[in-house]
Amino acid sequence: MRRLFRVKEMEARLKELERLNTELIAEKNRQDELDYAWTGSLGRWYWDFESNTVVFNPLKVLALGYSTDEIPEKIGFQFFTEKLHPEDYDRTMQIMRDHLSGKTDVYETEYRIKTKSGDYKWYYDRGKVTKRDKSGKPLFIAGIVFDITDRKKLESELEKKNLYLAEISERDSLTGLYNHRYIYENLEIMIRDDKYHPLCVAVLDLDNFKSLNDEYGHIHGDRVLQRVTELIKADLHPHDIAGRYGGDEFVVIFPNRELQNVKTICQKICASVSGEYASEKIKLTLSCGIAVANEEDARGLIHKADMNMYEAKAAGKNRVVFATDVAKE
């Protein structure tokens, strides 16, 4: 009985080798048709589906930090799949299942795989069922794998740089608030979308700032602008959008805020600024104008708030104005 088992085992192994040899010859004939670069290639792999035996270039395993004597004599598909990053596992397995079932022409994916030391490397893996039985069941799959860890690192660095460039392109360099362009673009979107209404805009301008710059210089003036920025942001909610409109003028967009609520917030901001500089030789305060979105575009709405801000200055500064309403701090 044992001898019979050994014979059957040898027959199965011979069939595996026969299938592999057949596919290697066919693969050799297909090599000239490959349409991808070989940079980072860890070589080809071949999966005998029936016996779940994977034959491959040892580079893939060596790249994971294992030595050649740590590679099992027989490796199944699970040797690699059990090392997939948890976030990549379901997606990768579904891609493979879709190809094995004939839903896709090729198996192609990128995934992270755990190294012996516990970190992860990125691989690009591409394969194709090269032989099926009469019922369509896969018998043999051939593929190629690439180490794309360095490429992924470069992509990550580039993404961070792009995010940084996007950030600085929409932020004021001195205060960190959104800049003039960003305020206009987002206000235009909010005006057209009812989900942001009621929508208010406030323009806040520092009183006596020119005198402070003349007295103490622009470096001191810059520090004041940074401190005023902190005071403005302290009274805002996360969904409010604050920007530096230019010079010593600020703009705040208040989506989904009723006028009375916005007036209360702006009055608190004005009180914070006047209290901060009450003991200074040059007493800084804020004049604020508020406008509620109606039929205007972004430019028209900010202009309306700006005119109300000048009303506040004309009425004695350090106050909040909406239309002809004057609310003294």
Strand-pair partners of 107: 127
Residue reference for tokens 């360099």: 173
> Which string of DSSP letters, residue by residue, matches 115-139?
-TTS-EEEEEEEEEEEEE-TT--EE
d(CA 247, CA 205): 9
88 is catalytic: no
Please tell me whether residue 147 adopts helix, strand or coil conformation.
strand
The burial class, CB within 10 Å (0-12 / 13-18 / 19+), for 87 is exposed
Which one-letter amino acid corresponds to residue 63? Answer: A
d(CA 263, CA 251): 14
Q: Which of 194, 248, 297, 306 is an active site residue? A: 248
Cβ atoms of residues 208 and 284 within 8 Å: yes
Q: Is the peptide bond before 198 cis (omega within 30 degrees of 0)?
A: yes
Closest to 241 measured CA to CA, from 259, 253, 231:
253
d(CA 47, CA 24): 12
* Catalytic residue IDs: 248
